Structure 1
Amino acid sequence: MRVRLFNDFHSGHYAETLLKIGDGRMTVDTEGMITLTEDFCNVVGSESELVAKVYTYLHNNIHDDQWLCERAILAPKNETVTKINENILDEVMGETTEYLSVDTVIDSENSTSYPVEFLNSLELSGVPSHKLKLKVGVPVMLMRNLDAPRLCNGTRLRVTHLGRNIITATILTGAAKGESVLITPELENYI
């Protein structure tokens, strides 16, 4: 879209390279790995270094909505997302609040023969983690449509209050930018 709307050549090169990667048209080495060049991305050696590069001067910019909306780290696995989120939360001042998904059943006939602890430890693709840790002031991104077009997949929000039974956030992007919303713990696994 940026290429078409703004004649952004750099975005066009980036999009073309992404398509080559996705289509398997990149040159691979003997181990089947591709080499990413500096003109395509900034290579880092660890998750901590990635957080430091993407969220440079986090302490100074944590309250700048525009600055936050220009940055995101996406990862394919929940374990990686959890590590990166914990690195970022460690950098933000304030108390961490932990939310847990619902792990009980009303009808015991619908229960499984697996222990709840085992089920809660699973990190499955497309399924939110059992634990969600947040702090007031941090940005979050919705991963599911809750109330389209206001609250849809990819909407950025800033957490403004963490209650026992409710999360309050301000919408940072989209048609409802600036609106405050309440999210109940039953929906907490959608953040």
Structure 2
Amino acid sequence: MRNLDAPRLCSGTRLRVTELRRHIVKATILTGEAKGDNVLIPRIPIIPNNLPFNFKRLQFPLKVAFSMTINKSQSQTLKVAGLHLDMPCFSHGQLYVAGSRVSKAKNLHVYAEGKKSLNIIYKSILQ
């Protein structure tokens, strides 16, 4: 992964891919100060330096995501979100963070086995 044009194209920037070509990706920026801008992302050479031999490969500096972790969603505002809670949250406040990413309750969709999930609470704080 590479930061191409900080702060426009850097880690955490979400894009909508509008066109895929052999050597370039056309996309629209969905978050940040450059929201709405159209960008062209070229394939770039990646040369690993932690191996005993040398090679070069061309790849797009993108990470495809159809989902994100609760921690990665912090400070994000989403129009619609779905929570897949097949396992309970493992950290204090994690369920709150996940549920508070959308501005309207009707846009939050939750899947939990048995329609329940545990929320980790420090009971000593409440006493």
Give me the TM-score of the superposition, normalised by structure 1: 0.24
Larger strand percent: 2
Give the helix-richer structure, 1 or 2: 1
